[in-house]
Amino acid sequence: MARTTAAVLAEIHQLALDFPTLCTEGTDFPRSSHRGHPLRYLRIASPAAGPRQAVLITAGLHAREWAPPDAVLDFARRLMRAYATPRATIDLPALTGSTAIEYVNMSGSAPAPDTLDLPATSINRPRIVAAMDRLEIYLAPLVNPDGREYTMAPVVGPPSFPSSYWRKNRPPADGVDPTTVVTGVNLNGNFPVPGPTAGTLWDELQRYYSPAAGLGTGDINASNNPADPELYVGPTGGSEPETELVMWLVANKRIRFFMDIHTSAHLISFPWAMEQNGTDAGMRFDEPAWDSTPATSTSPHRAPSGQPGRDGTRGTVYRELMPDGAPHRLARTHLTVARNLRDDIAGAAGPDAEAISQSTYNDRTYSGLTEGPISELLYAAPASGMDWVFSRQFTDPTLAPIYAFAFEAGAPNEGGFHPNYVTQYPKHDREITLGIMRLLTFAASWAPPAPPAPPPAPAPAPSGNGWCPCTIATAAYGTPWHPRLAYIRRVRDEELRATRLGRAFLRAVEGGYHRLSPPVARYIASRPRARAFTRRCVVAPVYGAIRGCDRLASKIGARESRVRALVGLFSLLALAGLLAVAMVAWWLASLIARVGG
C-alpha cells in the first residue's frame, strides 16, 4: 500500500520502537517543513564495536514519486529483521503468475497490459552482517512530506497537470490560496552547487553556464520562474528546509556514501548532473576562466575565445572534472559500482533478465536499465543533491570525496510515478532493495586508501623525477592533491618530460628550486597567514602563467614543437620575472640611498 505522509512518519517511529538496539529515529534536525511536518530520519547500525563508514540514502525529494519512500522503509524493516534473526537472509519473493509484473506494452498494438515474470532472489547473510556491523546507515525516506501529502490528497488542478503529478515542495504562497497558485521549489535543483554564492542560485547558474546554453529556455533543467511546474530552483541554494535536511545530514554525520532514489527512468547515475564528465583538471565548476560573464563586464575571466563554454550538452569542449587519479579512482569506482548494481538487478530477473537490461526484447520495447553520468543519460540537471554532495571535496579540499549516486528505479511502462501497489510496486521495491544493498556492500568493504606517499625529500641534485612539482605549493595548500598542483604535474609529466629539451629545462629549473624550497616550505607550513599569502601571491600567479603558456602552446600539434614553445614561453616569463624583481630591488636600493643620504 502507498503510505501517506502521516503513515511514513508513523512507520519511521515504529521501526525505532520495533528494533530499539539497531535503530534510532532522528529528531534533532531543527527545522520542520513549510507546512509543519517534522523532517525525520533513521540511523541504523548494530551495537558491534569498530570503525564505521557513514552512508546516507534519501528518497521522496520529488513529491509524485510514490514508490521510493515506501521501498526505503520496507528495506529498512527487511534489513533489521534479517540481522536480528539468526542465520536469516533477505528473501525477495518470486513475482510470477498472479503477482507477475504488469507493464504497458510501449510499441505493440495490443491494448492489454503484458506481464513480466521474475524469480525469487535473496541477499546473503554476510552482506547483511557486514552492512550492519561496519556501517552507520542514515535513511531519510521522505524528504518532501508536504509534496507527498499534496499528491495524495483529492486531486485539484487542470487535467493536463493534476496535483497528483506535483513534483516540487509546497511552501505557502504569500497571501494567496496555495491550491490555485503554482508555487514550490524543485528540491533536487535547490542545492548550492556550483556555488556557494552571495547572490541567488540563479545568479550562480548564470555565472556557470554559457549564454549559448539557453539556461531557462533550453534543455538545461532549471527555471527562475516560481510558476514553472517542475523546474523552479528556488531563491537561493539550500533555501528550503527539506534541502537543508539533506545538507545537514551530509555535513553532520560524516557521510562518505550517498544515494538519492527516484523513479522511474531506470537509470543508475553518478556525477555530474550539470555537465558532461571529463578529466581535465582545469575544467571545474569553480574555475573562473570558464565563467560566463556579461558582455559589459571588464572581468578578465572569460571562456577562452572560440569555445562554447559550459553548455550542458554532450560533445562540446567543456567537461566537468571527474577525477580518476589515485588514491580514490573516483571515475572508475563510480562506474564499477553502478555496473554492479545494474548486474544485480538484471541478474535477479532470471530468464527475463534481458527484458530489464535491454531496450528491445521479443519485439517489445522496454526502458533499458542504464548507468552513467546523468547529464549524459537524461538531461543536464543543475544544483542537484548528488552534485552538491560530490562537489564538497572541491569547495573544501580538507574534505574526503563522497561516492554519490542517483538511482531511478522502475521504468515508465511499469506504472510510472504511481505504480499499482499490487502488480507493479513489487518490482520497484525489489530494485530499490537491491540498489541500496549494492551501495551498502561497497561501503562495508571499502577501506580508506593508504595516505599518499610523502613527497620525496629534496635532493641536492634532483633527478627530475619528483612526485610533486612544488614543495612550497604543497605546503601552501596543505595537500599534494589540490587541482592546481595536479594540473602543474600534468604539464610537467605529460608535456615537458616527454621530450629531451623539456627534460633539460626541468633539470635546470628543479636543480635550483629544490635547494631553495625546503626551508621556505618548512617556514610557511605551520603559519596559516604565510600559507594564504603564498597561495594568493605566489602559487596563483605561477599557476596562471603555466596555464596561459600551456593554452597557447596547445594550439601547436606536434609535441616537440609544443614543448619548444612551452620552454620558450616559460623562459621569457622567468626572465620577465627576474627583471621585475631586479627593478624592484634597484628601486628599493635607490630609495634607501636617498633616505640615507
Residues found near other proteins in the complex (CB under 8 A): 1-4, 6-7, 10, 34-37, 62, 65-66, 104-109, 111, 149, 152, 159-162, 164-165, 167, 171-176, 178, 221, 230-231, 234-236, 239, 262-267, 359, 365, 367-368, 370, 377-379, 408, 411-413, 415-422
4 versus 333: smaller Cβ distance to other proteins: 4
CA nearest neighbour of 185 among 409, 446, 385: 385
CB of 231 to other proteins, least distance (A): 8
108 versus 541: smaller Cβ distance to other proteins: 108
**Exposure on the CB side of residue 136, measured as CA atoms within 13 A:** 18
Residue environment code for 60-99, b if the CB has 16+ CB neighbours within 10 A, otherwise e:
bbbbbbbbbbbbbbbbbebbbebbeeeeeebebeebbeee
CB of 414 to other proteins, least distance (A): 10
Q: Which grid coordinates are listed for 436? A: 541500496
Distance of CA 575 to the CA centre of its chain: 43
152 versus 274: smaller Cβ distance to other proteins: 152
Under a CB-based contact definition with an 8 Å cutoff, are residues 65 and 144 in contact? no
- For residue 336, give every residue at least 6 positions away whose Cβ sits within 8 Å of its Cβ, in sequence order, or none: none
271 versus 415: smaller Cβ distance to other proteins: 415
CB of 573 to other proteins, least distance (A): 46
Under a CB-based contact definition with an 8 Å cutoff, are residues 464 and 503 in contact? yes
285 versus 425: smaller Cβ distance to other proteins: 425
Question: Rg (Cα) of the chain, in Å, rounded?
Answer: 28
Q: What are phi and psi of 468, to 5 degrees?
A: -110, 135
Bridge partner residues of 137 (DSSP): 44, 55
Calpha distance 441→136 (Å, rounded)? 12
Q: Which grid coordinates are listed for 509? A: 629549473
Calpha distance 287→307 (Å, rounded)? 15
Bridge partner residues of 121 (DSSP): 92
Calpha distance 290→312 (Å, rounded)? 13
Under a CB-based contact definition with an 8 Å cutoff, are residues 152 and 170 in contact? no
Residue type, 339: R
CA nearest neighbour of 116 among 438, 419, 536: 419
CB of 449 to other proteins, least distance (A): 34
151 versus 499: smaller Cβ distance to other proteins: 151
Calpha distance 125→128 (Å, rounded)? 5
1 versus 49: smaller Cβ distance to other proteins: 1
269 versus 433: smaller Cβ distance to other proteins: 269
175 versus 300: smaller Cβ distance to other proteins: 175
CB of 172 to other proteins, least distance (A): 5
Calpha distance 370→449 (Å, rounded)? 29
CB of 3 to other proteins, least distance (A): 6
CB of 173 to other proteins, least distance (A): 7
Measure Cα distances from 35 to 44, 134, 149, 305, 487 in Å. Answer: 28, 37, 10, 49, 48
391 versus 413: smaller Cβ distance to other proteins: 413
CB of 94 to other proteins, least distance (A): 21
Three-state DSSP class for residue 135 = strand
Whether the CA torsion 343, 74, 128, 263 is positive or negative: it is positive
178 versus 458: smaller Cβ distance to other proteins: 178
Q: What is the dihedral of CA 345, 350, 356, 361, to 10 degrees?
A: 160
DSSP 165-202: G--S--PPPTTS-TTTS-----GGG-S--S---SS-HH
CB of 161 to other proteins, least distance (A): 7
CB neighbours (10 Å) of residue 313? 20
Q: What is the dihedral of CA 325, 328, 331, 335, to 10 degrees?
A: 140
136 versus 228: smaller Cβ distance to other proteins: 228
CB of 576 to other proteins, least distance (A): 48
352 versus 408: smaller Cβ distance to other proteins: 408
CB of 239 to other proteins, least distance (A): 5
Calpha distance 133→127 (Å, rounded)? 10
CB of 77 to other proteins, least distance (A): 15
283 versus 406: smaller Cβ distance to other proteins: 406
Calpha distance 430→443 (Å, rounded)? 20
CB of 10 to other proteins, least distance (A): 5
CB of 217 to other proteins, least distance (A): 11
